[in-house]
Amino acid sequence: MSDGGVPPSRADARRNRALVLQAARFAFEEQGLGVPLGEIARRAGVGAGTVYRHFSSKEALFRATIVDRIELFTDTARDLVDVTDPGPVFFRFLASVVRLAARNKALCDALEAAGTGRFEPSPGVGKDFDDALEVLLGRAQEAGAVRQDVGIADIRALLVGCLSMERARAGADSGDRVQGRMTELMCEALRPERVVTKLAAEPAKRNGSRCEMCGAALATARAGRPARYCGGACRQKAHRARGRTRQR
């Protein structure tokens, strides 16, 4: 029966299910698991009864909206298994997962919950993703591009943490944040040697003043007196210079 007591046709049922899925996908992407089912029904233009007719619970609806996204990540990882440069490809894959999932609150919630064992997107989907990612990790380790003492559990934990940090930085002050900086730091931590990854420069607000020693522009002081030096090195140079002046 429909919400008004009239049995829906098969075409109407399919259309309503598609409307619910589309509305749920956008709502979950914006708000994650916290979005109420009533809000999804409102966006879909249907009654709550229609939502429950197609999906027994909010968790079931949530699963339906993210399974295809996780499967896409899995298929991509599988397609990359036989590449000739497994190290760079592994790091690019990690970065792409973070970049795409960080824009999607639903995927962030799903990956975080799955990583702690509190949620399984669909039977086998989470494990398939882990298995495909573990193969990429193993190939990168065999090529000497990734340290040998990390496993798939470490990678999943790093992914979840990196997603959370990228979202927090983007939401806190997007005008002054460098997107992907946390991802670069994550990748750096996985490398076997102490090779410094060139990080994107993080812009700083300037107050128009310059360092008294080297002349570099100074960042705006958050509190207290304005800074006189750009860092500890110039501060030490100034201290030594004052000491030599007093000794004369």
Q: Rounded to the nearest 10 degrees, how much is the dihedral formed by the CA atoms of 123, 127, 128, 133?
A: 160
pLDDT of residue 176: 41
Quote the pLDDT of residue 196: 53
Q: Quote the Cα angle for 161-166-168, to 5°.
A: 95
- What per-residue confidence (pLDDT) applies to 72? 86
Q: Phi and psi (nearest 5°) for 95?
A: -65, -40
What is the full DSSP assignment across 153-206? HHHHHHHHHHHHHHHHHHHHHGGG--TTHHHHHHHHHH-SS-PPP-PPP----E
What is the predicted pLDDT for the residue at 220?
Answer: 56
Report pTM: 0.62
pLDDT score of 247: 58
Task: Give me the pLDDT at residue 137, please.
Answer: 95
Q: Whole-angstrom Cα distance, residue 121 to residue 66?
A: 7
Per-residue model confidence (pLDDT) at position 86? 94
CB 29 within 8 A of CB 104: yes
Tally Cβ neighbours within 10 Å of residue 58.
Answer: 18
Q: At what angle do helices 152-173 and 86-101 cross, to 10 degrees?
A: 50
Query: What whole-number distance in Å separates Cα of residue 82 and Cα of residue 98?
Result: 22
Block mean pLDDT (10 aa), the chain, length 248:
56 86 85 84 89 85 82 91 93 90 77 60 73 94 92 88 79 52 88 64 54 63 60 70 62
CA distance 80 to 56: 37
